[in-house]
Chain A
Amino acid sequence: MSALARTAAESAAMLRRNLKHQRRYPSATVMLVGMPIVLLLLFVYVFGGQLGAGLGPQLHAGLRPRLVGPGVQPAGDRIAYLTYVVPGILVMAVASAALGTALWVATDMTEGIIDRFRTMAIARGAVLTGHVLGSLVQTTVGLAIVVCVALAIGYRPTAGPLDWLAAVGVLLAFALALVCLSAALGLAAGSVETASNTPTFLTLLPLLSSGFVPTATMPAGLRQFAEYQPYTPVTQTVRALLAGADPGGHALAAIAWSAGIALVGYVWAVRLYDRRHAAAPR
């Protein structure tokens, strides 16, 4: 068996372990998947009518339609806002699932079985890879549920299958980035309590992006921040793709941010995981 095949088999075993954990501790999963849905319903039904009416044409200002036809500009203020906010909620779902990674990793590090893994002849990264893949599976499930709820309440995107595929690809790339970063935060936390707090900013940043209202409506300073932080290009790319429009430069920025954060997060996480070898016994 080649080294690569062995590493893959070991990571797969760790992934199965984490998926079992998720199933047997469903309250965490329900919380993490439920949060974006609550936000979706809140923003669409409580704020949506007013936001849709107030923002009007600004909601579609950034989109350069490739397809012009019925449905690109949906009728009704609330539906218009729904169409605007769904990409923001999808990004929020990605961030929410990533919160879980820090918790899972930090909880795992308190278990004696991690010491057993460390004394076994298995790939260094297998434990972390298992966590990362497990969280990506959870993210995918979360995204599917958000899309179903959105469709159920009247979301009618005009995207074709390829646009959908591209949008899912961008979301999962960003998910990989946040999950790696969150895994590192979970390892850096040192306790499960800390690990449940430090990654919270991951779910606050979407509110300060183009996820819920166009950045043009924000005051100077905040607007610049919102325009240059990573959530905005990701949201804009998904928004354009789901509207059947051209994401333009946002797509490149989204991929670059995702790759950069993923790399930093993964390297940081592996280093932290290795360094715990030198820790004092409990």
Chain B
Amino acid sequence: MTGPDRQAGQMTATPGCPAIIARGVEKSFGKRRVLDRVQLTVEQGSIFALLGPNGAGKTTMVRILSTLIPPDGGEIRVAGHELPHQAAGARTAIGVTGQFSAVDNLLTGSENLALMAALRHLGRAQARQRVRHLLERFELSDAADRRVSTYSGGMRRRLDLAMTLVGDPRLIFLDEPTTGLDPRSRKTMWQIIRELASDGVTIFLTTQYLEEADRLADRVAVLDHGRLVAEGTPAELKQRTPGAHVELRFADEGALRRAAALLQAPPPEDERPVLRVSSDGTLAALRRLLARLDDAGVEVEDLSIHAPDLDDVFFAVTGRSAAQPTIEEVAL
């Protein structure tokens, strides 16, 4: 046991009480409104992804929920503590890994972890054990005695998360945990996040990668210009989104033209002999479609089913493609 921190953390883990409740959260910087009546609920033990392009207000939301800045308005409960005036209580339950690495560059990896252990008032033996365990778990043992300034981006991010875990938080904020990581480091990070969630830790993450939200999250909220424009499970969001279709490829132009006439499908968008047909993608619908083509004697060379992905979701709710680079990204 590590004193009051630990007890407070357990006390707030009341079963059934959501880890985060936010109602009507507002924040402006000067005249610029960054968050506009944002509303969300994160259940305990779930992974919640806040999705949005650069400048949507994701980081501001994380900074408010993690007690760094007060909101201008709205009601917030984090781990059962009302923000901003019960921030001290919330801090005993949360861990934060920010977008800009929150590590000490002049210290070594193990010194960074030991600092966290000291600030969490772990005993000497317990601290040593925790540091060694985390270094192993995050594959940092070899680099433990090197200064963090020599670490790669992926190592730094892993150390960052390891430091967050020293205090055994029940609710973790991850602000863009994989931005700027190479594909392998990203996969490692995903694996770690899943492991944490399976241990019952609640995870609130922000991302601009639709794939990441889709793969990791139990629920996703889409933030655009400070407003929540959609919220639900990845499956629900996809269901609500038009964009499910079947792609049919034909051997030649003739077959393509006959099929297009039969199905009243729009002509192909490019040179390829491919038709896009709206479909919910169920087997029954597919069978009917192929039967019609068979009956008309049109041979289909290849077929692929496209479920809408979160890109389609984003397009449907914002009218823009999330893949469109923002000015900052182009500048980089």
Contacts and interface: CB of A to CB of B under 8 A. Distances in A.
Given A25-B106, A115-B102, A277-B69, 17 more contacts: A9-B121, A13-B115, A16-B115, A111-B105, A112-B100, A112-B102, A116-B98, A117-B119, A118-B68, A119-B68, A119-B94, A119-B96, A120-B120, A121-B91, A126-B119, A278-B70, A281-B59
B119 A122 contact: yes
A13 B104 CA distance: 13
B34 to A, nearest CB: 9
Of the four ranges (under 10, 10 to 19, 20 to 34, 35 or more), the interface on chain B belongs to: 35 or more
Given A113-B103, A113-B104, A116-B102, A277 B119 contact: no
A8 to B, nearest CB: 11
A112 B98 contact: yes
A1 B60 contact: no
Nearest to A122: B119
Contacts of A118: 67-68
Contacts of A16: 115, 118
A118 B173 CA distance: 14
A120 B119 contact: yes
Interface string B37-62: 00000000000000000000001100
Given A9-B118, A122-B119, A282 B100 contact: yes
B110 interface: no
A6 interface: yes
**At the interface, is chain A mostly helix, strand, loop or mixed?**
helix
20 contacts: A9-B121, A10-B119, A16-B115, A17-B115, A20-B107, A111-B104, A112-B102, A113-B103, A113-B104, A115-B100, A116-B163, A117-B119, A118-B67, A119-B91, A121-B5, A121-B92, A126-B119, A277-B69, A279-B69, A280-B29
B132 interface: no
A200 B301 CA distance: 79
A75 B67 CA distance: 66
A113 B160 CA distance: 9
A64 interface: no
B167 interface: yes
Given A115-B68, A120-B167, A17 B104 contact: yes
Interface residues of A, number: 30
A25 B107 CA distance: 11
Interface in A6-60: 6, 9-10, 12-13, 16-17, 20-21, 24-25
B183 to A, nearest CB: 24
A121 B96 CA distance: 12
B91 A278 contact: no
B262 interface: no
Interface string A206-247: 000000000000000000000000000000000000000000
B49 to A, nearest CB: 19
B111 interface: yes
B101 interface: yes
Interface in B135-173: 147, 163-164, 167
Given A9-B118, A113-B102, A119 B66 contact: yes
Nearest to B149: A24
Interface string B1-19: 0011100000000000000
B257 interface: no
B88 interface: yes
Nearest to B84: A277
Closest 3 CB pairs of A and B: A116-B102, A13-B118, A112-B102
B245 interface: no
B147 A24 contact: yes
Contacts of A115: 68, 96, 98, 100, 102
Interface in A111-142: 111-113, 115-122, 126
Contacts of B147: 24
B69 to A, nearest CB: 6
B104 A281 contact: no
A277 to B, nearest CB: 6
A99 to B, nearest CB: 19
A119 B160 CA distance: 14
Nearest to B118: A13
A280 B68 CA distance: 10
Contact of A13 (B60, B103, B119, B167): B119
A281 B60 contact: yes
Contacts of A282: 100
A131 to B, nearest CB: 14
Contacts of A112: 98, 100-103
B249 interface: no
A9 B122 CA distance: 11
B63 interface: yes
Interface in A73-103: none
Contacts of A277: 68-70
B62 to A, nearest CB: 9
B67 A119 contact: yes
A124 to B, nearest CB: 9
Contacts of A126: 119
Interface in A260-282: 277-282
